[in-house]
């Protein structure tokens, strides 16, 4: 195409040169103008002929059969469609801008709502809700009944229970019954999951500073130290070896002996060797006045231990809650027995945790309940001779 245009331009230039040469007199000037027109029309005819010949090769067979009026009408229709598409594009762009502004506004509202004080609630139950049967045409449609997916039942701190067809900003897969959540005080939508709540008394049981005691600080208890290492330290530090050998380690250790024989010192040395979290519970501390309060302390203590595993729970003066069960009409005695039953439940639960070990100490092993002295736990005896030997070495 470019070559043909160049040839046409060459013909035109040749005609112009001829016109300049013939400008000597008026007659030749008129003649030259006629020649120039002839040459220009010939060049245009050549170019147009070539262009149309190429265009005809690419036109569809249907278009070739159409008349000029039909082609003009089709062109007008296409122009109208182009105008409609342009207007539709402008409308969509306008809606897009409005949507972006609305999203920005809603994002700001969500930020404001999340900064407002939350209403603390607990997830009671998660439900899978299917839409109800299709209602008749023209009837009022309840949007909540048409929703699919997870719904939740929550109980607020004001002791009110609510059903949430829409859970909120938290993914339903990340929620489970019993979770502590923060909800909006007006719409009750779940905005955020909160950390697990533990009793403040249980948090105070955690020893912040890691124990620094060593086995060398305890003298005269080589046999007891060896038994303690095999029962507590090795199952926590070499867990995979016990699993490969199929050995079921004991759940805990009960150390008994006269006061001053090093029971607490050995427990702290074990915690230092395993680099584990150390929770120190006192038996009298678990005896509470209100019903279920002592059992709740035991549950929270084991829940905190599982969260901070590996953990060693040291229960001193176990005889305060671990006495033999007997029939009593006193409410205080029954509450102590409930606390001991909760301790047994945590030790022998359906979900045992090998990274949580219990070390209990007492100087009255003769009054303990037989359930605490079963064969699945290792009993380490610290005799009075060890106490005398430690005093001599001291």
Q: Which of 11-25, 213-227, 243-257 has the lowest mean pLDDT?
A: 11-25
pLDDT (0 to 100) of residue 384: 40
Contacts of 258 (CB under 8 A, 6+ apart): 363, 382, 383, 384, 387
Task: Report the mean per-residue pLDDT for the chain.
Answer: 73
Distance CA 145, CA 130 (A): 8
Report the range out of 81-85, 263-267, 287-291 with the highest average pLDDT: 81-85
Pick 134 or 304 by higher pLDDT: 304
User: Which among 260, 305, 261, 278 has a CA at the least distance from the CA of 211?
Assistant: 278
pLDDT (0 to 100) of residue 85: 92
Give first-to-last CA distance, the chain, whole Å. 112
Residue located via tokens 């809650």: 321
How is the chain split into domains, by residue range?
2-58, 116-131+147-193, 200-393
What is the share, in percent, of the chain residues with pLDDT greater than 90? 5
Alpha carbon of 378 to those of 104, 212, 245, 251, 373: distances in Å? 63, 25, 19, 8, 8
Are 116-131+147-193 and 200-393 equal in CATH topology? no
Q: Under DSSP, is residue 255 helix (H, G, I), strand (E, B) or coil? A: strand
Asked whether residue 49 carries a pLDDT value surpassing 60, the answer given is no
Please tell me the CATH superfamily of domain 116-131+147-193, with its number: Nucleic acid-binding proteins (2.40.50.140)
CA angle 83, 88, 90 (to 5 degrees): 95
pLDDT, one tens digit per residue, over 213-247 is 887 777 777 888 888 888 888 888 888 888 888 88
CATH for 200-393 (3.40.630.30, 3.30.470.20, 3.40.50.300, 3.30.70.600): 3.40.50.300
Pick 381 or 291 by higher pLDDT: 291
What is the share, in percent, of the chain residues with pLDDT greater than 70? 69
Contacts of 354 (CB under 8 A, 6+ apart): 235, 236, 239, 242, 249
pLDDT (0 to 100) of residue 99: 93
Asked whether residue 145 carries a pLDDT value surpassing 60, the answer given is no
pLDDT, one tens digit per residue, over 177-217 is 888 888 888 788 888 888 777 766 776 677 767 777 887 77
Distance CA 342, CA 295 (A): 6
User: What are 205's two structure tokens?
Assistant: 């049981």
């Amino acid at each position: 195409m470019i070559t043909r245009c160049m040839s046409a331009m060459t013909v035109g230039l040749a005609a112009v040169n001829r016109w300049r040469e013939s400008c000597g007199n008026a007659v030749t000037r008129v003649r030259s103008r006629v020649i120039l027109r002839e040459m220009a029309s010939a060049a245009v005819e050549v170019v147009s002929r070539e262009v149309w010949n190429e265009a005809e090769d690419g036109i569809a067979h249907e278009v070739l059969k159409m008349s000029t009026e039909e082609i003009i009408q089709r062109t007008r229709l296409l122009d109208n469609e182009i105008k409609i598409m342009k207007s539709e594009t402008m409308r969509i762009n306008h809606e897009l801008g409005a949507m972006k502004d609305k999203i920005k506004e809603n994002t700001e509202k969500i930020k404001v709502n999340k900064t407002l004080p939350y209403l603390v609630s607990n997830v009671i139950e998660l439900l899978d809700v299917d839409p109800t049967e299709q209602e008749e045409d023209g009837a009022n449609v309840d949007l909540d009944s048409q929703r699919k997916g997870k719904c939740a039942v929550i109980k607020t701190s004001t002791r009110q229970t609510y059903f949430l067809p829409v859970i909120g900003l938290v993914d339903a897969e990340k929620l489970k019954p019993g979770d502590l959540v923060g909800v909006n005080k007006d719409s009750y939508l779940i905005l955020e999951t909160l950390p697990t709540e533990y009793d403040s008394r249980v948090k105070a049981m955690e020893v912040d500073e890691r124990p620094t005691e060593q086995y060398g600080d305890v003298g005269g208890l080589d046999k007891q130290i060896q038994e303690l290492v095999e029962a507590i330290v090795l199952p926590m530090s070499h867990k995979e070896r016990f699993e490969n050998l199929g050995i079921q380690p004991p759940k805990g250790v009960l150390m008994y002996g006269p006061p001053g024989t090093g029971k607490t010192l050995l427990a702290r040395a074990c915690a230092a060797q395993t680099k584990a979290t150390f929770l120190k519970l006192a038996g009298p501390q678990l005896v509470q006045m209100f019903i279920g309060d002592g059992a709740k302390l035991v549950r929270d203590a084991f829940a905190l231990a599982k969260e901070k595993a590996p953990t060693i729970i040291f229960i001193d003066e176990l005889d305060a809650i671990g006495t033999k069960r007997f029939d009593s009409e006193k409410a205080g005695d029954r509450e102590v027995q409930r606390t001991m039953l909760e301790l047994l439940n945590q030790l022998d639960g359906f979900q045992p945790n090998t990274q949580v070990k219990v070390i209990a100490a007492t100087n009255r092993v003769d009054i303990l309940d037989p359930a605490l002295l079963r064969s699945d736990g290792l009993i380490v005896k610290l005799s009075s001779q060890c106490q005398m030997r430690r005093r001599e070495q001291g």
